[in-house]
Structure 1
Amino acid sequence: MATLKTLLNFLKNKPNIKILGTHNTNTIIDEVLFLEDNMEISPNTLYLTTKLPKSLLINKQNILIIVNKASENIPFGQIETKNNIEEVYRLVCEFMFIEYKLYVKKLNIYNSLSAYNDINKTLNICETYLNNPIFILDTSYRIIGRSNLANPITSSIKIYNDQAYLLVDTVNIMKKDKCIDNIYSSSTSFFHFSDKNLIFCGIRVNNITVAYICILQENREFIEEDLELTNTLAQTLSIQMQKDNLFINSSGLEEEYYLMDLLKNSINNLSYIKERLKNIYFKLNKNILLIVIPFRQTYQDYRHNFGLKQLIITTKNIFGNCISAYHEDSIILLISKEDDAVFSENTKTRFTDFLNLNNLKAGISLIFQNILETKEFYKQATYALKLAKHLNIKGFLFCFKDYVEYYLFYILQITDNNIEKIELCTLIDPLINKLIDIDKSNNSVLLQTLVIYLESNRNAKLTSEKLNIHSSTFFYRYHKIEELLKISLSNSDILFKFELSLKILRYQK
């Protein structure tokens, strides 16, 4: 609806017009009339006159007096102009017609919410007014909606598993131009002029930017009205996305989209994943660990859920290089370190104390190197929690490495074909995988030595004979394995897990 403020701003931009005097800029204007004596004043009508009516003894702030020279003694809004009152009336009617057309466009965008219940159809309605392609992207630069004109555009876009993403180079340019910062800091739409002319507007839910609109100047040049329509589109899409749960609103963290892509296997290109993760300053090192902490939100709105927010902040501080998400009533953490001991003793102590203090439990996956397998190791962390509960084991920290054999027992008993199973290859102990890599890099036979040693019932003499090597050579290899893996081969628990892993390897081959 038109307000006196927007009308006066319109008139100020016209030649030979000056606005002075007292007026309530928030007054909503429904119509404009010439003021006559003894006329009953309506609060939503703008009245134009060339003289101050003597019958009005109080200040009516929706009256504008058309004068050649303004006077400070007149307590009404004044339009100082050489134009006659009829010309001013024509200009006001022109403004009212423009505002009415804009109002109808906005109303049609809003009404699409109930008429179609579809983001892309809402975009297409808005596109008929903007006549330029419209994209909707989440905060990880994944395209979640396109208008008709945007569908054929493929430049700066890469497709992975039927999902469209902005190229990393494009994202870097947006960051360099401070465009991303503006999207997050601005509550309204804005023009962005660089090598391409664009309109951006954040889509917010509970003051959290969950996605944004990008409009490309392709078919016609932008006008100021486009910003108004883009704001309306952003408000409409905010409601639609809440209805459809098309955004991740549970933690309010930009990084959450990146981790969710990994959990859902949305992208299968390792190079692109590495490039994407650089956008959030997460360094993908050699070793990766996944942690799941069950936690039920108090509020659906993250902004008010201070408990969840604080837990996420604290865990990120404990682990350092870490990204997090809230999914299926659990806090999920993905940690990456160069050191084989992703979970150092100091970190383990701090984390256990944190869990104890907050009465929480955590499931921890095996260490892995291939981030494309994140989904499988997420299953491991959740199974660690489930199996510990099934076995009635008390504590706060449950590592899947302690439950691999129990997982196999569990799967054997389950008759439900819909149960999610873990890929067999991911059950192999990380130290065995490390030994395989060492052999490949150094052309050594440490794994073979370990296999024969275990098959020989841990008898050094028999192992040496089978390998046709001197006993001193065997013990050199034996201690080399202990040194490289930082373990003791006299530890029966470790050897049992190694035997299980080696049997999985053998079965796979």
Structure 2
Amino acid sequence: MYINMNEILDKFSQFTSSYKISFDTEIVNFKFSTKNLQNYSPYCLYIFRANKLPKEIFNYNKINFLIIGEPQDLPYLDRCNYIILKENSISIFDIIKIIQSLLNFDDALSSFKEKLFYSIKDDLSISNMISIAFEYLNNPIMVLNSKYETCYFELGKTILDEPVWEFQIKNNRPHPEYSLKYNKSRENRLIAESSYNHIVTFFEEIMNHREIAIPIKHIDFSIGRICVLEVNRKITQSDIHILKTLAKMMYPLMVCDKKFLNLETSKLDSVFSDLINNPKPNMLLIRKKLSNFKFNLDSNMYLLCLCDLDNINSKSKINYVKQMVQGIFEKHYVFIFEQNIIVLYNNKNSFDYFNKGKEYKEFLEFIQNYTLSVGVSKLFDGISGIRNAYFESLSAINFANHLNFIGDEKPFINFYDEYVLHDLMYDFVVKKKLHYILDSTILKLLADNNTNLINTVKYYLDYNENLNLIAEKLGIHYNTLKYRIEKLKTKYFIDLKNSDSLIKLRLAIVALEISEGYKLDLGLN
């Protein structure tokens, strides 16, 4: 339901000292505030005490104010609708009740909000707020943090008969099958990262009742959620409003509560983060710190960096994925750095490729299910190479994302070994300095953009000079291939039997791939 400023004026006429209504608008919501807001909506009524009104507002077209007490002379009020109430003529709770009745708010919701207002005034805890909400919902309530740990719950005298919740409360972590099903749903994760939208979850195979959850965000991250189990009675739309109100009231307390914002970074995590951040770390000090953890300092290692392709800033997902990755790489070290999950894969004294490891197949299936992209560094020796390995893994992901036109599908695991030449050539392409590294004959071939000859060179390099196979892959006759090779020699003075030419031709093909993938001009004309 919506109302307008004239209807509000009519209800508050006996308390009004002055007003100005210069435009008509449909008001569907209200907000009582004690500080300036970033954004104002023309469809909301903003309630301020006069001494709390902001000094200036920049986006002040069509704003509706209900002001308690006489305000200062504020220029922006000339462009706004406002009703000024006499100081101390009516309490804030009665004001809110009247607005709620005009908007046809539910009586239970109104009563609940009033109780919550009083709970804030009396400095009650999150636990107290949960108890108040339970009185109205008459269903079990649980508050989880971003790591899915149980921070608060209220069951009353309810007999749960719900294995998922019983497991969560007893073990302080989610039921394994519930976690797997919930986090595999990209839709669930997207909803969970948007403020105050509710999620309905019911997995028939493992649950007896529906669960309704409201995520709570801080800045760009979901820091927790309020869950209600539909046991004693069905959840109504009014109950959803109660949950959303509870989430908004709890938020200021949650951001001050370490249960919700602490990622539980260990001392060992901090050492590795310092190694990545600091180009010149104190290696003696770091070796001393790591020696306390019995960490093999000089082993051969790969560094794996896991990034979220969904682009959902979710501490919930990060922590869940970290737990799953730790389960796959039990003998290796896993930590979080800048919203990415890092695996230090201890290759011991082996020089085998990472994809030859026993965990590789399980890991590949896992990252495909959870829309992750992984960068794998080159094999490096000892902890001093961690920083360089981290940037190699990021480069692998970056090049794979831009150069995926080369293959049929975007790869999930990207090896830096496959992009070493791309990393070498990238700056030469960006700065248009290919002449520093390529011969003028090769530059002329690129400038002429003779696709037939360029493709011939590419396949010649890829298939180790096997002319029959190259002709088959190009879909041309063997003699046509011989003619093209001869033309490279006569027109561009490029001899495919010359090893130095082959090396530079490989660099030229890489430069073309970078140019196409990053939409960069080679600067040859």
TM-score by length of 1: 0.37
Greater Cα radius of gyration, structure 1 or 2: 1
